[in-house]
């Protein structure tokens, strides 16, 4: 079976088989990052542009490592360097870049739908690295890979996303991906930050974290942005921590083993306490490692690589 | 003496309860005679053969943005009037959110002069309620009425302050003209760009709850009751807003309402794929809201159909959804879409449709028109109700192309438009 999609815009449009293919292809790529010489010639001669209209360190670095370990030529363009500050439109930026004969565009944008917009107007492969509140598909994939590594499966697991669901592209990609892979998905957060309509996607809404801790196998704890407090979504960070923060006390009270993910960067003492973040429940740094592997798999598959070829590609540089 | 004989067609004149095979003789811009097999007066009259066609009082769209002054690249009075007559409209109410804002006597005069120069449809300027459409201090309504304004609105913006709206309604009692409100509580709209619901949650777009409209509709209906003034609700979109209008009408409050073809034909599903031609204020809502608008149009809770024709340049809609401006054009699609959806869709009969598109807008704005009785102003639209066709935005007379109806199959359109006895459009 071959991965036939041209773009990765979100997990909503992928099938379970396609998601499984990406996750399976990530496994051999993981091993490349463990080597002395962390490079395979899979994307040699391909040019990739990382177009980041929003500040990002983690995702951009992760994509860049993935691209370089596959031997692609990469260019990073950040908002402050781009012509956007001079008033160039998104479509003109894209067309100009494409005139330089680029094979792939990795785009992060503050507007939901910006990658989809781009994909309809240029010939290159487009990879969504996060658009507005819409989707962050590679984050969803790396979260799923991390959970699967831990449990050996996704089906039947109860995964609850905690925090600001309304404004979260990570939440949406997790919901679509996990549902397709047969997990039960719930969300938990202040009702001001949880769109009620999300229940009709078959997602359970938990108003209280205590109920979540009594049931969930996995918590995906989202970053709380300070600006949400200023827009009256909740009264204070302290109260947020009291009601929804993941603390040792709450975990001990639940008395169950719960796996904890966090897409980062963390606000210690707000959505997650330091002793939890650094303790035994979490796999946060494994997520970061898996992020590179998942992105290698996505780049490889979108460039026409066959899933079975991933392990061959991984073997290639061993000689 | 200039004479025009429209003969052989079905004459449908709801106001005068005429529906049948009648000829219409026009002399010097007025209806001279209605009757069967009228003689052409010794060959002196120009003949318009209307066999197989339906002859109705000229359609009136009381909610149109012509973008002049300010954005002549999007629409001018001239291009807008051309689009109007091509769509069968003989008169337009034009909105004051121009640049600069139409909030004074001179600005009203400018639009009227431009319309006369264009010489197609009639143009009736609607002035701003508040200076600069800022929602703060009342604009000079009296002076604007002297110059030819017919109503007032801050359209595009809601007059958000209840106190300012109360004063505007109270002050309008001097003149008896309607205050037209764009009903959206701006604090509830916030950064919203589409209807709030599953679609907005899925697409990751900020939602606008229908309650943002319902609350202002209720508030302003209550203020209309308090003041005894006339209130007109622009582009009503939510089912509960319709319910509120129905209740206040039953109470005898002087409230009227309009609905747009896009709100009673399309739902929020159109936004799928981040379609910026499905972005407008208020936003497209749910199927249940759409059904309530149709019911409201059928039972008269909603008095008229208006297009909210809002031209935007291609480049401005060619962007991410949240960054695109609100609004779609409608002058050249309003009748065919309304006829196809409402009459062929079994919601209301042709007589009621013509009432909603000609008779009631004339009554709300107290315009001549909407009637083809002897001595009435000869504004006439000749309709072909049998031909199926496909809407093609490349054929529009408007300067803009931002329609959600491109490629839609419809039936019915204007084949001739007559303003003041002069034929200004022929298909």
Q: What is the DSSP string of B60-95?
A: EEEEE---TTT-TTT--HHHHHHHHHHTTEEEEEE-
Mean local confidence (pLDDT), A155-179: 97
Q: Is B138 helix (H, G, I), strand (E, B) or coil?
A: strand
- How many residue pairs bridge chain A and chain B with CB atoms within 8 Å of each other? 63
The residues in A 203-232 lying below 8 A from B, measured between CB atoms, are none
A145 and A209 fall within a common domain: yes
Average pLDDT, chain A: 91
Q: A197, B200: Cβ pair inside 8 Å?
A: yes
- What is the SS3 string spanning A207-253? CCHHHHHCCCCEEEECCCCHHHHHCCCCCCHHHHHHHHCECHHHHHH
With CA atoms as reference, the chain A residue closest to B315 would be A89
B211 reaches A (C-beta below 8 A): no
Structure-block tokens of residue B399: 């300067």
Shortest Cα–Cα distance, B205 to chain A (Å): 6
What pLDDT, on the 0 to 100 scale, is given for residue B164?
Answer: 98
- The reply to whether A36 touches chain B by the CB within 8 Å rule is no
Closest by Cβ to B274, choosing from A89, A117, A172: A117
Which tokens belong to B246?
């129905």
> Of the residues B61, B103, B154, B308, which is catalytic?
B308
- Residues sharing a CB contact under 8 Å with residue B25, sequence separation 6 or more, in sequence order: B3, B4, B5, B6, B31, B32, B33, B34, B35, B38, B41, B45
CB B204 to CB A116 under 8 A? no
Q: Is residue A213 part of a domain?
A: yes
Same domain, A194 and A163: yes
A298-307, B165-174, B270-279, B281-290: which range is least confident on average? A298-307
Statement: residue A156 has pLDDT above 90: yes
Residues forming CATH 3.20.20.140 domain(s) in chain B: 58-365
A4: in domain: no
CA distance A126 to chain B (A): 15
Structural domain contains residue A1: no
Residues A184 and A262 in one domain: yes
Q: Which residues of A touch B322 (CB under 8 A)?
A: 111-113, 132
- Residues B153/B128, Cβ–Cβ less than 8 Å: yes
Q: Is the pLDDT of residue A82 over 80?
A: no
Is residue A132 within 8 Å of B322, Cβ to Cβ? yes
Contacts of B72 (CB under 8 A, 6+ apart): none
**Residue A6 resides in a domain:** no
If you classify domain B3-55+376-426 with CATH, what class do you get?
mainly beta
Tell me, what CATH number does A126's domain have? 3.40.50.1370
Residue A11 lies in a domain: no
Q: Which residue of A116, A197, A198 is in closest CB contact with B273? A: A116
Question: Which residues of B define the annotated binding site for substrate?
Answer: 65-67, 97, 312
Which residue is listed with tokens 């980062």? Answer: A264
Instruction: Express each pLDDT in B93-107 by its tens digit.
Output: 999 999 999 999 999
State whether A91 and B206 contact (CB < 8 Å).
Answer: no
Whether residue B183 contacts residue B220, with contact meaning beta carbons closer than 8 Å, is answered with yes
Q: Give the model confidence (pLDDT) of B305-338 as tens digits.
A: 999 999 999 999 999 999 999 999 999 999 999 9
Question: Is the confidence at residue A81, as pLDDT, over 60?
Answer: no
The pLDDT assigned to B128 comes to: 98
Give the residue with greater pLDDT, A232 vs B214.
Answer: B214
B206 touches chain A (CB under 8 A): yes
Three-state secondary-structure class, residue B45: coil
Residue A169 annotated as binding?
A: yes
Whether A164 and A118 map to the same domain: the answer is no
Q: How far apart are CA B15 and CA B37, in angstroms?
A: 22
* Tens-place pLDDT, residues A141-155: 999 999 999 999 999
Q: Are residues A161 and A234 in the same domain?
A: yes
- Residues in binding site of B for Zn(2+): 63, 65, 155, 182, 235, 308
pLDDT at A319: 44
Q: What's residue A87's pLDDT?
A: 62
**Interface residue B322 vs chain A (CB under 8 A):** yes
CA-nearest residue to B318 within chain A is A91
Q: What is the pLDDT of residue B293?
A: 98
Task: Give percent above pLDDT 70 in chain B.
Answer: 99
Contact list, B207 vs chain A (CB under 8 Å): 195
Same domain flag for A281 and A141: yes
* Domain co-membership, A271 together with A309: no
What is the rounded average pLDDT of the residues B76-91? 98
CA distance B310 to A19: 43
Chain B residues with CB under 8 Å of A119 CB are: none
Residue B69: cis peptide before it, omega within 30 degrees of 0: yes
Virtual torsion, Cα B321, A129, A90, B330, nearest 10 deg = -20
Tokens 């910006």 appear where? A114
Can you give the pLDDT at residue A307? 81
Contacts of B198 (CB under 8 A, 6+ apart): A197, A198, A200, A201
Both A23 and A144 in one domain: the answer is no
> Which superfamily does CATH assign the domain made up of B58-365 to?
Metal-dependent hydrolases (3.20.20.140)
- What is the mean pLDDT of the segment spanning B349-367? 98
- In chain B, CATH 2.30.40.10 covers 3-55+376-426
- What is the distance between the alpha carbons of residues B242 and B234, in angstroms, rounded to a whole number? 12
Structure-derived torsion over alpha carbons of residues B370, B372, B373, B375, reported in degrees to the nearest 10:
100
- What are the Cα distances from residue B256, in Å, to A225, B94, B217? 45, 18, 11
- Please report whether residue A5 resides in a domain: no
Name chain B contacts of A90, Cβ cutoff 8 Å.
319-320
Alpha helices in A8-83 (DSSP H): 16-32, 58-69
B77-85: average pLDDT: 98
pLDDT at A226: 78
Regarding whether A273 and A146 lie in a shared domain, the answer is yes
Span A180-230, pLDDT tens digits? 999 999 999 999 999 999 999 999 999 899 999 999 999 999 999 877 777
- pLDDT level of residue A309 (50, 70, 90 thresholds): confident
Q: Report the distance separating Cα B114 and Cα A211, nearest Å.
A: 67
d(CA B361, CA B357): 7
Structure tokens at B371: 């009637």
Q: Do B204 and A132 touch (CB under 8 A)?
A: yes
B171 and A CB contact within 8 Å: no
Q: Are both A129 and A160 inside the same structural domain?
A: no
pLDDT attached to residue A85: 56
Beta-bridge partner residues of B44: none
Same domain, A141 and A260: yes
Active-site annotation holds for B388: no
Asked if A200 lies within 8 A of B206 by C-beta distance, the reply is no
Distance CA B157, CA B171 (A): 20
Beta bridge partners of B258: B304
As for how many domains chain A has, the answer is 2
Q: What is the pTM of this model?
A: 0.93
The pLDDT, as a whole number, for residue B281 is 98
**Alpha carbons A195 and B342: distance in angstroms, whole number:** 34
Asked if B337 contacts B265 with a C-beta cutoff of 8 angstroms, the reply is: yes
Q: Are residues A209 and A313 in the same domain?
A: no
Reported as a pLDDT band with limits 50, 70 and 90, residue A83 is low
Interface test with B, best of A54, A87, A111, A230 (most B CBs within 10 A): A111
For B60, B62, B366, the CA distances from B363, given in Å and listed in that order, are 11, 11, 5
For position A239, what pLDDT does the model report? Answer: 94
Minimal-distance CA residue of chain B relative to A199:
B198
Range of the domain at A207: 137-286
**Does any domain span residue A240?**
yes
């Amino acid at each position: 079976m071959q991965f036939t999609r041209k773009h990765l815009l979100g997990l909503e449009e992928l099938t379970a088989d396609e998601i499984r293919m990406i996750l399976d292809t990530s496994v051999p790529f993981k091993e490349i990052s463990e080597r002395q010489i962390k490079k395979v010639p899979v994307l040699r001669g391909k040019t990739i542009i990382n177009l980041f209209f929003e500040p990002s360190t983690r995702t951009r670095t992760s994509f860049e490592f993935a691209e370089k370990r596959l031997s692609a030529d990469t260019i990073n363009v950040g908002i402050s360097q781009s012509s956007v500050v001079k008033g160039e439109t998104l479509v003109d930026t894209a067309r100009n870049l494409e005139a330089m004969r680029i094979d792939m565009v990795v785009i992060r944008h503050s507007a939901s739908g910006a990658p989809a917009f781009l994909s309809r107007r240029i010939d290159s492969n487009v990879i969504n690295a996060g658009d507005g509140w819409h989707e962050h598909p590679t984050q969803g994939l790396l979260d799923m890979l991390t959970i699967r590594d831990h449990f050996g499966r996704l089906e039947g697991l109860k995964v609850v996303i905690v925090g600001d669901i309304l404004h979260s592209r990570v939440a949406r990609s997790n919901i679509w991906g996990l549902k397709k892979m047969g997990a039960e998905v719930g969300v938990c957060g202040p009702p001001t930050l949880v769109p009620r309509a999300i229940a009709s996607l078959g997602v359970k809404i938990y108003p209280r974290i205590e109920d979540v801790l009594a049931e969930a196998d996995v918590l995906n704890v989202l970053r709380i942005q300070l600006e949400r407090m200023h827009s009256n979504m909740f009264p204070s960070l302290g109260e947020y921590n009291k009601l929804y923060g993941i603390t040792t006390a709450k975990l001990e009270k639940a008395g169950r083993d719960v796996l904890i993910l966090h897409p980062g960067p963390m606000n210690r003492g707000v959505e997650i306490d330091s002793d939890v973040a650094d303790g035994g429940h979490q796999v946060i740094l494994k997520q970061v490692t898996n992020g590179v592997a998942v992105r290698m798999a996505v780049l490889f598959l979108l460039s026409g690589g066959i899933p079975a070829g991933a392990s061959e590609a991984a073997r290639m540089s061993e000689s | 003496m200039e004479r025009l004989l429209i003969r052989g067609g079905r004459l449908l004149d709801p106001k005068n309860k005429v529906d049948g095979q009648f000829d219409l003789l026009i002399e010097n811009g007025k209806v001279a005679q209605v009757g069967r097999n009228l003689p052409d007066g010794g060959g002196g009259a120009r003949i318009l053969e209307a066999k197989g066609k339906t002859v109705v009082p000229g359609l009136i769209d009381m909610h149109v943005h012509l973008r002049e002054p300010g954005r002549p690249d999007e629409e001018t009075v001239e291009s807008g009037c051309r689009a109007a007559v091509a769509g069968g409209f003989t008169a337009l109410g034009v909105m004051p959110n121009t640049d600069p804002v139409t909030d004074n006597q001179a600005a009203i005069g400018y639009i009227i002069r431009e319309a006369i120069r264009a010489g197609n449809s009639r143009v009736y300027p609607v002035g701003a309620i508040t200076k600069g459409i800022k929602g703060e201090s009342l604009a000079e309504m009296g002076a604007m009425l002297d110059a030819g304004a017919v109503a007032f609105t801050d359209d595009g913006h809601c007059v958000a302050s209840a106190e300012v709206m109360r004063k505007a309604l109270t002050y309008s009692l001097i003149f008896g003209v309607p205050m037209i409100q764009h009903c959206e509580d701006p604090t509830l709209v916030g950064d919203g760009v589409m209807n709030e619901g599953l679609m907005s949650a899925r697409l990751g777009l900020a939602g606008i709850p229908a309650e943002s409209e319902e609350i202002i509709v209720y508030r302003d209906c209550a203020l209309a009751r308090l003041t005894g003034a006339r209130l007109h609700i622009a582009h009503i979109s939510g089912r509960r807003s319709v319910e509120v209008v129905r209740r206040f009408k039953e109470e005898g409050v002087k409230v009227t309402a309009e609905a747009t073809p896009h709100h009673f034909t399309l739902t929020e599903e159109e936004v799928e794929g981040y379609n910026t031609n499905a972005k407008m204020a208020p936003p497209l809502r749910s199927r249940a809201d759409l059904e309530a608008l149709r019911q409201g149009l059928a039972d008269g809770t909603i008095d008229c159909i208006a297009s909210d024709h809002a031209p935007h340049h291609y480049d401005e809609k060619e962007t991410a959804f949240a960054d695109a401006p609100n609004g779609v054009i409608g002058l050249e699609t309003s009748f065919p879409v309304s006829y196809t959806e409402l009459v062929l869709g079994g919601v209301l009969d042709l007589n009621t449709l013509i009432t909603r598109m000609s008779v009631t807008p004339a009554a709300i704005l107290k315009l001549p028109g909407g009637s083809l009785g002897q001595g009435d102003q000869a504004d006439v639209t000749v309709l072909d109700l049998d031909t199926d066709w496909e809407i093609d935005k490349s054929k529009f007379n408007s300067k803009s192309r931002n329609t959600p109806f491109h490629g839609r199959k419809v039936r019915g359109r204007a084949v001739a438009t007559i303003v003041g006895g002069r034929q200004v459009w022929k298909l």
